[in-house]
Amino acid sequence: MYFLGDQTQSMKFNKETLGQLDRKYKLNLVNSLSGVKSANLIGTKSLKGQNNVAIFSSVVHISSKPPLLGMITRPETDPPKDTYQNIKDTEYYTINHVSQSFIEKAHYTSAKLPQGESEFLRMNIEEEFIDDFHAPFVKESGVKIGLKHYESVPLPNGCMFVIGSIELVVIPDAAINELGQLDLAEYDCAGISGLNTYYGLTKKASFPYVRNNEIPSFE
């Protein structure tokens, strides 16, 4: 690690210096490099009927035709973590956008509770069932998505990339425009940087689909 110039005071890391960093420092740094990520609570229900919810910051769009979303789960453990095990066992799960009104509760669902103890109950998060969908939704969430397991792809680091097909979506009327675009600020959607820093999101601008003959002249 070293600085670039006296005025900018920019840090520069290469592969060697990254490897020499304190473990926790490197963990926080690398997890922050991708910028602000989506904050979502993943709801599942076990074969025994136990409801669980856990925060994830790795949800990404995969496809619109068919409608698919992906997320990354950590390497499997013994005993296995409830979220991925429940998805494998039942095939169904929910993705619920985290709003600023319940950031703290959502964050603490990352705790390693004893197997069988529900984060819904421990963190006082109200669950909701919609249209007989198997897995629980987060009632307070602005956007709720019900998914069915589509495919799991092993990653080189032992994590799993879980892909789900969208089966059900619930969105506030005021948060979606005539083009189908969501206004995340309308329901105070939150984002995550790194592992534990949360941001409020505000809409700054909306631009048209880019065509080569319509690119403005930038100064």
110 domain residue, yes or no: yes
pLDDT of residue 116: 79
CATH of the domain at 125: 2.30.110.10
d(CA 75, CA 151): 16
Q: What percent of the chain has pLDDT over 90?
A: 84
6 domain residue, yes or no: no
Residue 172: domain span? 35-201
Provide mean pLDDT across the span 153-168: 96
Residue 8 has pLDDT above 70, yes or no: no
Residue-wise pLDDT for 99-143, tens only, equals 999 999 999 999 989 887 899 999 999 999 999 999 999 999 999
10 domain residue, yes or no: no
Tell me the three state secondary structure of residue 3.
Answer: strand
CA within 13 Å, CB half, 54: 23
Q: Tell me, what DSSP letter sits at residue 26?
A: H
62 domain residue, yes or no: yes
Please, where are the H alpha helices in the chain?
15-19, 23-32, 82-90, 103-107, 119-122
104 domain residue, yes or no: yes
d(CA 183, CA 143): 11
212 domain residue, yes or no: no
118 domain residue, yes or no: yes
214 domain residue, yes or no: no
How many folded domains does the chain comprise?
Answer: 1
